[in-house]
Amino acid sequence: MSLLIFLVLILSIGASSASNATNNKRFPENFLWGCGTSAYQIEGGWNADGKGPSIWDNITHENPNFIKDGKNADVSADSYHKYEVDIAMLKELGVNFYRFSISWPRVLPTGFPDNVNQPGVLYYKNLIAELRSNGIEPVVTMYHNDLPQTLQDRDGIKNPDFVDWFAQYSRFCFQTFGDDVHYWLTINEPYVACTIGFYSVVYVDGIDDYVCMKNFLLAHATAWHIYHEELKMKGKVGIVLNSNWFEPETNSTEDLEASERTMQFIWGWLGHPLYKGDYPEIMKIRVANRSKLEGYNQSRIQELTSEEIAFAKGTNDFFAANTYTTSMVKRIPEAPIGTPSHNKDLGVESYQPSNWQSTGLDWLKVVPWGMRKLLKWIKNEYSNPPILITENGYADSTGELEDTSRMNYIRDYLSYIRDAMEYDGVNVIGYSYWSLMDNFEWVSGYTAKFGVINVNFTDPERTRTRKLSSYYYEKVIRNRCLVDDCQD
Catalytic residue ranges: 189, 391
Q: Nearest distance from residue 442's CB to ligand GAL, in Å?
A: 6
CB of 371 to ligand GAL, least distance (A): 16
Could you give the CA distance from residue 19 to residue 13 in angstroms, rounded to a whole number?
A: 10
> Which CB, 41 or 350, lies closer to ligand GAL?
41
Using alpha carbons, select from 476, 421, 419, 430 the residue that is nearest to residue 452.
476
Which residue, 78 or 260, has its beta carbon nearer to ligand GAL?
Answer: 78
3-class state of residue 335 by DSSP: coil
Task: With beta carbons less than 8 A apart as the criterion, state whether 237 and 223 touch.
Answer: yes
Q: How far is the CB of 188 from ligand GAL (least distance, A)?
A: 5
CB 6 within 8 A of CB 69: no
- The Cα-based distances of 297 to 208, 300, 364, 377 in angstroms read 16, 9, 39, 35
Residues 363-385 as b or e (16 or more Cβ within 10 Å = b):
ebbbbbbbbbbbbbbbbebbeeb
Residues in region 448-487 near ligand GAL by CB under 6 A:
450
Give every CB contact of residue 89 below 8 A, 6+ residues apart in sequence: 436, 437, 453, 464, 466, 470
Give the Cα separation of 66 and 69 in Å (integer): 9
The separation between the first and the last C-alpha atoms of the chain, rounded to the nearest angstrom, is 29
Residue 114, classed as helix, strand or coil, is coil
Least separation in angstroms between residue 240's CB and ligand GAL is 7
Assess 442 for contact with ligand GAL (CB under 6 A): yes
The one-letter amino acid code at 426 reads V
Report the C-alpha gap between 151 and 58 in whole angstroms: 13
- Residue number, 340 or 393, with CB nearest to ligand GAL: 393
Residues 6+ apart with CB under 8 A from 214: 302, 304
* Largest Cα–Cα separation, the chain: 69
Q: Single out the residue of 12, 9, 19, 71 nearest to residue 46, CA to CA.
A: 71
Residue of 183, 184, 433, 434 that binds ligand GAL (CB under 6 A):
434
Please state, in angstroms and rounded to a whole number, the distance separating the CA atoms of residues 318 and 469: 28
x/- binding map, residues 180-199, to ligand GAL, per CB under 6 A? Answer: --------xx--x-------
**Residues 319-378 contacting ligand GAL, CB under 6 A:** 322
**Residue 181 buriedness (CB in 10 A; 0-12 / 13-18 / 19+):** buried
Distance of CA 284 to the CA centre of its chain: 26
Nearest distance from C-beta of residue 443 to ligand GAL, angstroms? 10
- Candidate residues 12, 38, 54, 392; the one interacting with ligand GAL per rule CB under 6 A: 38
- Of 267, 441, 455, 457, which one interacts with ligand GAL (CB under 6 A)? 441
Q: Is 16 helix (H, G, I), strand (E, B) or coil?
A: helix
Footprint (CB under 6 A) of ligand GAL, residues 377-396? 391
| Smallest separation, CB 359 to ligand GAL (Å) | 10
**HSE-CB for 172 with a 13 A CA cutoff:** 22
Cis bond leading into 76, ω under 30°? no
Distance (Å, whole) CA 357 – CA 73: 29
Type of residue at 63: N
Q: Is 279 in the site for ligand GAL (CB under 6 A)?
A: no
CB of 441 vs ligand GAL, minimal distance in Å? 5
C-beta closer to ligand GAL: residue 144 or 462: 144
Q: Which residues bind ligand GAL (CB under 6 A)?
A: 38, 41, 188-189, 192, 322, 391, 434, 441-442, 450
